[in-house]
Amino acid sequence: MAYKVTMRFNLLRALAPVFTAVSCTLLSSCGLAVMMSSDPAPVLTPVQPAPLAKNVQYVAPTIKAPTLVNPSSSLSSDISGNTQISWSRGNPNQKYIALTFDDGPVTSNTTRLLDMLKRRNIKATFYVLGNRVQNNPSLVKRMVAEGHELGNHTWTHGKLTNMSDTKVRWELDKNRDAIVAATGIKPRTMRPPYGALSTRQRNWIFKEYGYPTILWDVDPEDWKKPGISVVKDRILSKTRNGSIILLHDLHSVSVDAVPSTVDALLRKGYKFVTVSQLIALSK
């Protein structure tokens, strides 16, 4: 009996390495680590993130900057004491500028433009055509209600230097009457189409109507439709204290250039006023 027990014990001792190897193989195939009581504590390896795919670049999130706002002011627009017949620029010692638009109103463009200006608290001067005023009275009323100024730009946009004095009077009178009919307000300044007006004409128009002739010192030639960035760059490079900027709300590209252009001018410290305010500041 003792002999049999001894034999069984010896057999188990002999087979122990085999059982251990088989067990380790089976456990390893299941992804489990085998640890004997005499083994040291296991070392945990942190999981590494998968590498980024090649050619993938980090893109910063887009953050929309707040809209810049022109400072509010209670500047006078009284030009009754003005004796200067023609203006191309205001006071060069102050950072006030005037933004002007010719040849409107045009429903689609001018409506968008008014929204842009309202968002930035900018008051502009619109040199409107009488026949378009007559066709868009509600839009002209909105201009006045939102603090913009209206100027006389004739009825037909004809070249005044080719007209008789009688014909010039007809152009100015018919435009003025259309503005008054739509808004109840008379224009205080005039701008000749193409900037074409003789010295003699400027004198008698000023004497008869009280209109100073308003020209400009910044012309991006937007009527040629050179593109938004070109219009913007030309205005930014030419604008200085007292500038009168010429644009046309007749053209959609000109209106499209307004937001980035005026925002850049605001960042430079310029303040937007109407033409009458610019003249009043220059007394």
Q: Which residues are catalytic?
A: 102, 248
- Range list of H helices, the chain: 2-29, 107-120, 130-135, 137-145, 165-183, 199-209, 228-238, 252-267, 275-281
Q: What phi and psi values does residue 184 have, to the nearest 5 degrees?
A: 80, 10
What SS3 string covers 241-273? Answer: CCEEEEEECCCHHHHHHHHHHHHHHHHCCCEEE
C-alpha to C-alpha distance for 215 and 190, rounded to whole angstroms: 9
C-alpha to C-alpha distance for 129 and 135, rounded to whole angstroms: 10
Cα distances from 240 to residues 76, 131, 193, 205, in angstroms, run: 21, 34, 24, 29
In this structure, how many other beta carbons lie within 10 angstroms of the beta carbon of residue 116? 15
Query: Cβ distance 132 to 102 under 8 Å?
Result: no
Q: From the CA atom positions of the chain, what is the Rg in Å?
A: 40
Query: Cβ distance 213 to 202 under 8 Å?
Result: yes
C-alpha to C-alpha distance for 149 and 100, rounded to whole angstroms: 9
C-alpha to C-alpha distance for 251 and 104, rounded to whole angstroms: 9
